[in-house]
Amino acid sequence: MNTLPPCPQCASTLTYEDGANFTCPECGHEWPQQAAAEAAATERVVRDASGNELKDGDTVTVIKDLKVKGSSSVVKVGTKVKNIRLVEGDHDIDCRIEGIGAMGLKSEFVRKA
């Protein structure tokens, strides 16, 4: 099964091929298939606050107190987070923190352990 890339503007997964372009039926954005192939070829590298490259499954340490949105909880400095998963978006890391649960972290606030 051929998987088409999501729309770069609205992230819709309903894109379709239209000649030499991809088209999004939700927002109407069109972009060339060549650009999508080049974007897939350039792999995104996520780095921690010290500049170390992060990979899926790494263990990181939080370097700043982080307030948990929608809660009075705080992720304290020095909290170890095991088995991270790298994702696209404004928060680079998906993880599960003991005592808090699943959350997203920005890579600029962690250091590879």
At residue 1, the pLDDT reads 43
Residue 98 and residue 80: Cα distance in Å, rounded? Answer: 9
Cβ atoms of 16 and 4 closer than 8 Å: yes
* Higher local confidence (pLDDT), 5 or 39: 5
Average confidence (pLDDT) over 70-84 = 94
In tens, the pLDDT along 14-66 reads 999 988 899 999 999 998 887 666 666 567 889 999 999 999 999 999 999 99
At residue 9, the pLDDT reads 87
At residue 42, the pLDDT reads 63
